[in-house]
Structure 1
Amino acid sequence: MILGLQTLLLFLLQTPGGSSQHSEAGYWFLQPNVLVVNTDLNIHTQMQIPLSCGEAYEGQEVFWRNEGQEIDQQGNHIQVTVEELTGGNYSCHDSNGSFLNHTLVLVQLLNGKSQARKILDKVENTDYIQCTSRNYSGIFHCSWKWSEGRRGDLFFAAVTRSSGQSNISCAADADRSGMICLDRTHCPYTEELHPIDLTIYVKYWYRVEKYTKQFYIAGIVKPDRVRLRKAHGNTFEWEYPSTWNIPDSFFPLHFEVKVAPLNKDCDAEGEQSRVRKNFLFCVRSQDTLTKSGWSEWEQRK
């Protein structure tokens, strides 16, 4: 299922690859009004791209503009030159200047056979996209990090199960640095047979970059903080997170407990402090069966 994220994100009816019939020519349609040109960084690229206003305007006088500025080409079918990063938003108009249609031309830079990535930075030096889920309900969150000095925008997203049988809906975060999704067909009591495939296209001016990630919900589960309280004296009690699946016997967690000096935090490395009057008592949890991510530490003095 292809997803439109908020009103600012484009709505699509097919996967990104589904409209790539022109990819051998060096360009392809991300959707009917969005054309992507592949440009090789190692070669000075100058490409002629055909644009069409639409079959409904065949035989009519058609005038063209790029970013609102009139260009010389006229007619329903024209050729425009795309050189390196010179994309544009081409609109066609009738003889009275009324808007008829448009095509947004974006550029995807390649470095040989690989994509040159500049819009996103790796998250914690591991991957460009990081996904987590607080439980097995089918809700998960994916995020990314914009490169410093090059703040882009989430342009398009597709999230599906690799089996093709899925019903996943998503909404972009307010700052466009992530999105939260719900897989309505996910059952927490059965084994996941097919991974989730995530594809996003991010845009900076007329440059567009594609990023992908494949994962199982079981592999990205990270429980919320445990519910920890000080009972009396140096005795502490904790419970499963309120957001964790039930019954506990079917979704067991195991716990890590440590004591740290007050002038340290729970993540501090080194030997644990001996129990004194002033200390931090720290607890975190992890899914016993999948051994996925640890929760954040919960602490009490």
Structure 2
Amino acid sequence: MHNYMMFFLLLSTLLFLQSSADGSIKTEESYWTLKPNVLVVNVNVGEDVNVPLICGEAYEGENITWTMITKQGYIDCSTNNYGGSFKCNWTWDVNRNGHVAHIKATRPGGSNISCSLDSSGNITCLDHDYCPYAEEVERINLTIYFRSSFVVESYNTRFYIMDIVRPDMVPISRINKTSVEVKYPHSWSTPSSYFPLMFQVKEIRCRKHDNCDCSKPNSQEIFFTQSHKLPVTKGMTVCVRARDEFCNSSWSDWNQYKCKTRTNSKQRKREPKLKML
């Protein structure tokens, strides 16, 4: 049996440390029960505390798991080019309900970053002062204030634009029977000479009527190239994805092209038989 305890703190996150924590951390005695299984702890922002927890006689001899639910949320940000805009998704435990109350995005030393929230909870931001041709000196500091009932929690992430760049899927088109051509996504920054992409390529074999899964590990050779012309093998599926050549950012989703085996173009069309009356 598992017993779960949630801890909440307004506009800050409570750092929960088990009883085996270092003795230099303060043991907080100023806490009170908000409702069953919910405690409020009065601490200064940034202060680490140790909170003693007791299950009670009803759970004696049972395996008990203590879980801090404010620590299960995270922010995932990405952008498909160097235009200065980026999107963020908010994810947390499926058992919790709430909504984003406020968004704050800044760079140290001042910035002009605007953010908006759509009906699905997705966050879109634009750094109006961002220059794609200049080196980023300071990271973007993004803070999301999330409200659940009357409790507001803050979550923070810091990143450079180049850290979160993820190109869109690479277009693939056939040139002839033995080769295909890959192109830069339309959404990628230009000129391509200043924003080059590196392609990752592999060939896989999958059954005729099955959908090929390029993400599965396989024994086929994987190679990296900047060439836009790629060889293909009859009956094989070529998988391609791309990322920025100059930084270790995320790969795009895989795209694939299946080189079909030769078919008989002289197959007869079956005509329906006429019944004699």
* TM-score where L is the length of structure 1: 0.60
Map 1:277-288; keep pairs closer than 5 Å. Answer: 277-288=234-245
The structure number with the bigger radius of gyration is 2
Q: What SS does structure 2 have at the residue aligned with 1:218?
A: helix
Cα distance, 1:280–1:118 mapped onto 2, change above 3 Å = same
For structure 1, list consecutive stretches of 5 or more residues without a partner in the other structure.
1-27, 29-34, 47-82, 87-106, 123-127
Map 1:74-113; keep pairs closer than 5 Å. Answer: 83-85=32-34, 113=48
Amino acid at match of 2:254: W
Map 1:231-242; keep pairs closer than 5 Å. Answer: 231-242=175-186
Cα distance, 1:171–1:38 mapped onto 2, change above 3 Å = closer
- Displacement of 1:279 in angstroms is 2.7
* TM-score where L is the length of structure 2: 0.65
User: What whole-Å deviation, never above 9, does each CA across 1:200-248 have from its counterpart, x for those lacking one?
Assistant: 1112112222111010001111111111112222311111110111111
For structure 2, list consecutive stretches of 5 or more residues without a partner in the other structure.
1-8, 17-26, 51-66, 222-231, 259-277
Q: Which residue, out of 195, 206, 215, partners 1:251?
A: 195
Cα distance, 1:141–1:38 mapped onto 2, change above 3 Å = closer
Aligned to 1:266: 214
**More strand per residue:** 1
Q: Which residue, out of 130, 135, 159, partners 1:191?
A: 135
- Displacement of 1:292 in angstroms is 1.1
Cα distance, 1:190–1:289 mapped onto 2, change above 3 Å = same
- Displacement of 1:276 in angstroms is 5.6
Tell me how large the CA RMSD over aligned residues is: 3.2
Amino acid at match of 1:113: D
User: What whole-Å deviation, never above 9, does each CA across 1:96-141 have from its counterpart, x for those lacking one?
Assistant: xxxxxxxxxxx7887972799525635xxxxx11111111000101
Map 1:46-57; keep pairs closer than 5 Å. Answer: none
Map 1:1-301; keep pairs closer than 5 Å. Answer: 43=28, 45=30, 83-85=32-34, 113=48, 118-119=69-70, 121-122=72-73, 128-164=74-110, 166-176=111-121, 178-263=122-207, 264-272=212-220, 277-301=234-258
- Displacement of 1:146 in angstroms is 2.5
Cα distance, 1:84–1:230 mapped onto 2, change above 3 Å = farther
Cα distance, 1:280–1:162 mapped onto 2, change above 3 Å = same
